[in-house]
Amino acid sequence: SHSIPVRSSETEDLRVDGRGCEDYRCVEVETDVVSNTSGSARVKLGHTDILVGVKAEMGTPKLEKPNEGYLEFFVDCSANATPEFEGRGGDDLGTEIANTLYRIFNNKSSIDLKSLCISPREHCWVLYVDVLLLECGGNLFDAISIAVKAALFNTRIPRVRVLEDEEGSKDIELSDDPYDCIRLSVENVPCIVTLCKIGYRHVVDATLQEEACSLASLLVSVTSKGVVTCMRKVGKGSLDPESIFEMMETGKRVGKVLHTSLQSVLHKEESLGPKRQKVGFLG
Amino acid sequence: MAMEMRLPVARKRLSESLGRESKKHLVVPGDTITTDTGFMRGHGTYMGEEKLIASVAGSVERVNKLICVKALKTRYNGEVGDIVVGRITEVQQKRWKVETNSRLDSVLLLSSMNLPGGELRRRSAEDELAMRGFLQEGDLISAEVQAVFSDGAVSLHTRSLKYGKLGQGVLVQVSPSLVKRQKTHFHDLPCGASVILGNNGFIWIYPTPEHKEEDAGGFIANLEPVSLADREVISRLRNCIISLVTQRMMLYDTSILYCYEASLPHQIKDILKPEIMEEIVMETRQRLLEQEG
């Protein structure tokens, strides 16, 4: 019976915790938290806690795209997050999130995959992006996409050179300097904005309680310039085409602000330099 | 629209900021409390190898010869006379099963429930069939603990007009150890909202009704829309309670009220930011100390 006050509040832009319909909870972002990865990030959005690690490994390019590297996503819903994820309970959600991540990156401009190519048809960099759900507090997709973007920003791929022998066999040489790396441009990496329909309005960044009251949600993947790369509807309720259009417009607007905030935090963290105080997990 | 992203800040240890002289004796499961065998064992302890060992994580309390460990975060253990707020999970033959954050589901017997009109009569077969009309799955009720079964399950009753089905409001779930035992758990706060502090850790915040509906007997839930001003007060109270809980302060009407007053200069949604939360609770703590001393 707590759903009734939630539904009537939305009509006047005041949610249970005092936020407006387009306000996010306080987000904490920290990169470079896992030392044996090429890049990592941890994002805390209210009670939602996500850890992403990126490992760069050498592999063979795909047959249909011989000049490009690629990304592989894997999502692990840890049993620490909620008791429902015990055993194989979290597998379905994990596959769903991984498939959504594949979809939002499935276009030419999100990530420059050509820069991941070492030698065409033979060697390329494969980025294995592992997402770990530490705690579930609502709005998983947004938090995961923010963490993936931050981790890709933090990723440092070692610089390699291809040397060719007289016989024609190729050898890959790693640079001696461990700090000689290439970094990825994450300007066009999209972030997901989830809009949940509650009553007659839609809200951004729903808590677990608000998600329970919402019958239908729209996931919009937006880049920093406001371009929508993909859209998906979840939930068993139905959405009016007009609502979908409004929610998409809200998603674009909110997405642009999300990207600007994330970019400024990541640059601020980088400006503190490698000697900055890391808070990590016991802070 | 507001969007705030920031870098994490390491939290300060509470004891340093408080300057507390007397340190509490904190234990974790398996810690030895004492090797002196002259003490009686209370809750949360067990005797093993001639030593008294703690079985829960919490602080040690000693009353003369009785040692017990009061756990920080537990499930609710029912005591007769406690006020609880619970949610109906099942409708069975002559009773309802109520979820009260305890180890077993609590039970609300049909015979312990007030009938509409306050009449006193034996419950008939028609009453049994009409049970779902009174309380359905998902409804929230306030009730009092009538008895505790031998396995720890709690039996509730709503045999007073102040208990019954709850209407519009906000539920906050906290640990039962943070709710202070008081004479009354129903408070009408001067800021414009009322609060029920359930001993089981379920706290219900609702708008103060203009007139007391005595004849309904707690059945007809008021489903009219709540005004914006009332809703703001309720949201602010909810955020204040959450900040008190995060800083592990006991919850009772005075602490909630002081916290509410300390939070007035801030916007409602800002109360949950870590630094503002610390500031508000610090001010509340100081006011409470001044009031005691």
pLDDT tens per residue, range A18-45: 888 899 999 999 999 998 999 999 999 9
Q: Are strands B40-41 and B66-71 parallel, antiparallel or unpaired?
A: parallel
Chain B residue nearest residue A257, CA to CA: B3
How many CB atoms are located within 10 Å of the residue A93 CB?
17
Q: Which residues of B touch A19 (CB under 8 A)?
A: 2, 269
Report pLDDT for A1: 35
Report pLDDT for A75: 94
According to DSSP, residue A151 is labeled H
Q: Which residues of A touch B196 (CB under 8 A)?
A: none
pLDDT tens per residue, range B199-258: 999 999 999 887 655 544 455 666 677 788 888 999 999 999 999 998 888 999 999 999
Do B273 and A26 make contact, defined as CB atoms within 8 angstroms?
A: yes
* Residues from A in contact with B at Cβ < 8 Å: 1-2, 4-5, 8-9, 12, 14-20, 22-30, 44, 204, 253-254, 257-258, 261-262, 264-265, 268-269, 277, 279, 283
Q: CB-CB: which of B167, B235, B271 is closest to A14?
A: B235
Q: CB-CB: which of A8, A22, A27 is closest to B226?
A: A8
How far is residue A207 CA from its own chain's centroid? 18
pTM: 0.87
Report pLDDT for A2: 45
pLDDT tens digits in sequence order for chain B, 293 residues long? 778 888 888 777 665 555 555 677 889 999 888 888 788 888 888 888 888 889 999 989 888 889 989 888 889 988 899 999 999 999 998 899 999 999 999 999 988 888 776 667 777 787 788 888 888 888 899 999 999 999 989 999 998 888 888 888 899 999 999 998 899 999 999 988 999 999 999 999 999 887 655 544 455 666 677 788 888 999 999 999 999 998 888 999 999 999 999 999 999 988 988 889 999 999 999 999 998 87
How far is residue B259 CA from its own chain's centroid? 17
Average pLDDT, chain A: 87
| Res. A3: pLDDT tops 60 | no
| Res. A53: pLDDT tops 50 | yes
ipTM for the assembly: 0.83
Q: How far is A176 from chain B (nearest CA, A)?
A: 33
According to DSSP, residue A37 is labeled S
Q: CB-CB: which of A8, A23, A27 is closest to B1?
A: A23
Neighbouring residues of B293: CB distance < 8 A, sequence distance ≥ 6: none
pLDDT tens per residue, range A200-228: 888 999 998 888 888 899 999 999 998 99
Contact indicator for A58, A123 with CB cutoff of 8 Å: yes
| Res. A95: pLDDT tops 50 | yes
Report pLDDT for A4: 46
Q: CB-CB: which of A8, A25, A283 is closest to B10?
A: A283
Burial B210-229 (b: 16+ CB within 10 A, else e): eeeeeebbbbebeeeebeee
Mean pLDDT of A83-90: 84
Question: Which residue in this structure is represented by tokens 């975060």?
Answer: B73
